[in-house]
């Protein structure tokens, strides 16, 4: 049978340290979902590659892109700028492809506002104590940064009901299975799936 | 962590002969989803057991239940009455349990109207030719009944966009996997899933 699909804009968010990158990575093998590489002014963490996890840019470049309205969303988070380049996302969606954004809650709320047809997923920690352990375990944050991120997390978790789906990242496999089910279900949503039942 | 869930009302529908019973049967092992047994005035098919597939009732009993407002939905389909007893569904939902309705499109549209928070799934045939083969293969329909059901199916398929999810029942395993993903995703919907992120 002939069937058409509209691309979906998948927004995955959650507090810093919750593991949204790790959970969302399970969608890497979904070949029809493009990963949107964000721009950031923060320094690369060990193992991060420019153009893969992020485009690492200068503040100057970032500000120029803001002036040129080059971002779908952008935010100042924990002392650094982050933004989603608009054009690759819009081009992919227009071509019927799906796009995955993995962004902070400030940016996610902006996208949900501008693109209400997006699919929004908020990743939660099992507890704030566990979130603290994960932030400390990174060994990339100073103690006062950990406190700041934890405080932000409380505010972000309080807004969890703005998202369509909630996934607790307690066990990684379980969280990934839940995320996959969201993607699979949303592929069957009548607003973006058009199967044509033909005579023969 | 503590988490609460609200029960979901799952409405599975589709044209006669599409195999909605067979697809939806894959949810039998989801112990937290109660199957709502409909009432009907039609005769049992071979293998059907009263109280399992349907409550087989007389027209008199059915009409009394209609008068007593005992149905969440009811419809006259292909010469017989079908209805979903209201009380077991409402009692289960109020107790936080999920309920699965497997009903014809007339009834499904009524439930979607009355219970807009329900999860609605429409099962499609891969083609009308295949639907004809399935109806004929049942060996329970007279030739003129097959035509009548096919004509109804065209009208029902035309209204498919009123449902939230569409699943084509071409390959049974694929259709079941899609239905399972809908159930799993909907369990994570923020409007009915309340995980509490606690301190410890």
Of B129, B195, B200, the CB nearest to A199: B129
CATH number at B3-36+97-195: 3.40.50.300
Architecture of domain A3-195: 3-Layer(aba) Sandwich (3.40)
Per-residue confidence of chain A (200 residues) as pLDDT tens digits? 778 889 999 999 999 999 999 999 999 999 899 999 999 999 998 899 999 999 999 999 999 999 999 999 999 988 899 999 999 999 999 999 999 999 999 999 999 999 999 999 999 999 999 999 999 988 777 888 899 999 999 999 999 999 999 999 999 999 999 999 999 999 999 999 999 999 88
With H, G, I as helix, E, B as strand and everything else as coil, classify residue B129: helix
Q: Which residues of A touch B161 (CB under 8 A)?
A: 190-191
Of A160, A188, A190, the CB nearest to B178: A188
Q: Which residues of B touch A125 (CB under 8 A)?
A: 197
What span, in angstroms and rounded, lies between the C-alpha atoms of B17 and A168?
Answer: 40
Q: Which residues of A touch B122 (CB under 8 A)?
A: 190
Q: Of chain B residues 88-147, which have a CB less than 8 A from chain A?
A: 122, 124-129
Locate the domains of chain B by residue range: 3-36+97-195
pLDDT digits 0-9 by tens, A85-134: 999 999 999 999 999 999 999 999 999 999 999 999 999 999 999 999 99
Predicted-complex ipTM score: 0.92
Residue B128's φ and ψ, nearest 5 degrees, are -70, -30
C-alpha gyration radius of chain A:
18
What span, in angstroms and rounded, lies between the C-alpha atoms of B2 and B91?
Answer: 24
Task: Determine whether the interchain pair A125/B164 forms a contact, defined as Cβ–Cβ distance below 8 Å.
Answer: no
- Eight-state DSSP code of residue B59: H
What is the model's pLDDT at position B113? 97
pTM, entire model:
0.93
Task: Determine whether the interchain pair A178/B184 forms a contact, defined as Cβ–Cβ distance below 8 Å.
Answer: yes
What is the model's pLDDT at position A88? 95
What span, in angstroms and rounded, lies between the C-alpha atoms of A107 and B129?
Answer: 48
What is the model's pLDDT at position B138? 82
Q: Which residues of B touch A177 (CB under 8 A)?
A: 184
Per-residue confidence of chain B (200 residues) as pLDDT tens digits? 778 889 999 999 999 999 999 999 999 999 899 999 999 999 998 999 999 999 999 999 999 999 999 999 999 988 899 999 999 999 999 999 999 999 999 999 999 999 999 999 999 999 999 999 999 988 777 888 899 999 999 999 999 999 999 999 999 999 999 999 999 999 999 999 999 999 88
Interface residue of A112, A197, A199, A200 to substitute, partner B, most B CBs within 10 Å: A197
Q: Say whether residue B170 is in contact with chain A using an 8 A CB cutoff.
A: yes
Interface residue of A13, A190, A192, A198 to substitute, partner B, most B CBs within 10 Å: A190
Q: Which residues of A touch B164 (CB under 8 A)?
A: 189-190
Q: Which residues of B touch A195 (CB under 8 A)?
A: 124, 166, 168
Of B162, B164, B168, the CB nearest to A195: B168
What is the model's pLDDT at position B109? 97
Of A127, A157, A188, the CB nearest to B200: A127
Residue recorded with tokens 């799906």: A98
Q: Which residues of A touch B126 (CB under 8 A)?
A: 1, 197
């Amino acid at each position: 049978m002939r069937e058409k699909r509209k691309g979906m804009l998948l927004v995955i968010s959650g507090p810093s340290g919750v593991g949204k990158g790790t959970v969302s990575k399970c969608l890497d093998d979904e070949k029809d979902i493009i990963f949107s590489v964000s721009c950031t002014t923060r320094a690369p963490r060990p193992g991060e590659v420019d153009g893969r996890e992020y485009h690492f840019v200068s503040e100057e470049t970032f500000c120029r892109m803001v002036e040129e309205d080059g971002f779908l969303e952008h935010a100042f988070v924990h002392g650094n700028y982050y933004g989603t380049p608009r054009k690759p996302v819009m081009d992919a969606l227009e071509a019927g492809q799906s796009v995955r954004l993995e962004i902070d809650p400030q940016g996610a709320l902006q996208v949900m506002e501008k693109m209400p047809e997006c699919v929004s997923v908020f990743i939660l920690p099992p507890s704030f104590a566990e979130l603290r352990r994960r932030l400390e375990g990174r060994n990339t944050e100073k103690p006062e940064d950990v406190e700041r991120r934890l405080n932000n997390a409380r505010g972000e978790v309080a807004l969890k009901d703005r998202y369509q789906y909630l996934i607790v990242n307690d066990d990684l496999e379980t969280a990934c299975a839940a995320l996959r089910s969201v993607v699979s279900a949303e592929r069957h949503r009548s607003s973006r799936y058009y199967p044509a039942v033909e005579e023969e």
